[in-house]
Amino acid sequence: MLNRFLWKYKKYPITISLIVICVIVYLISFFLFGEEMDALEGLYFGGFNPIYMVITHEYYRFITANFIHFGFLHLAMNCYSLYGLGMFIEKSLGIQKYLILIAVSALSTTGLPYLFYMLTGQGANVVSGGISGVIFGLIGALGALALHYRYVYMDIFKQLAPNIVLMLVISFLVPSISLSGHLSGLIGGFVCTYLLLMFKHQKRLIH
């Protein structure tokens, strides 16, 4: 079991590290609050709320909110999705580009809703957390790969499309799920990956 974990870590260090961080953070929250956290506990533990950040200037929440989970099922579903899709995207992009993608997706998940609140005042009562926005960023990255390398990734994207649509529908229908965070992660992941691929293409043309 340990050997398999170490093999996975050597092959997909970023994805495995993200899962380990999420699990460790959840274990800490479990000892502090029990199996599930409510909104106030989530806010105390590093969750994202735009009006709270405006008042306190605790901008570290742009990052920490991505790693907290409000219950075991929340954690398990996200880690399962991250495990499969994350390893595939990590292998496709390479460690350096994948790290950039993860960072941009994480910041987009919280940063874009924050900007939306500053512009419109909406979303003030939402406390959000979880790495699902980053997972949507990975979906956006797959979309960019499919657009850029049609003959390589388009079939994979088409196979995942029904699941992606279902996840978006659930985000619309379930009030407790942050639709703005999911859409923001999706946009951030797509734009980031598309620009990385375009930059790579331009470098090849120059050389």
Minimal CA–CA distance to 156: which of 145, 166, 170, 172?
145
pTM tops 0.85: yes
Report how far residue 159's alpha carbon sits from residue 128's, in angstroms, rounded to the nearest whole number: 29
pLDDT greater than 90 at residue 135:
yes
Query: For the residues 167-187, what does the mean pLDDT come to?
Result: 74
Q: Which residue has the higher pLDDT, 15 or 201?
A: 15
The stretches of the chain forming alpha helices (DSSP H) are 2-11, 13-33, 39-44, 50-56, 61-64, 72-93, 95-120, 132-148, 150-173, 179-206
- Cβ pair 145, 98 in contact under 8 A: no
Report DSSP state, residue 49: -
Residues 66-86 have pLDDT tens digits of: 999 999 988 998 998 899 889
Residue type, 18: L
pLDDT greater than 70 at residue 175:
no
- 186 phi and psi angles, rounded to 5 deg: -60, -45
pLDDT greater than 70 at residue 201:
no
What is the domain count for the chain? 1
118, two tokens: 């500053």
CATH number for the domain spanning 56: value is 1.20.1540.10
Burial of 176 (C-beta count, 10 Å sphere; 0-12/13-18/19+): exposed
Structural domain including 78 reads 2-206
Report how far residue 89's alpha carbon sits from residue 160's, in angstroms, rounded to the nearest whole number: 13
Residues 23-38 have pLDDT tens digits of: 999 999 999 999 999 9
Q: Within 10 Å of residue 197's Cβ, how many Cβ atoms?
A: 18
Minimal CA–CA distance to 145: which of 90, 67, 82?
90
- Cβ pair 48, 106 in contact under 8 A: no
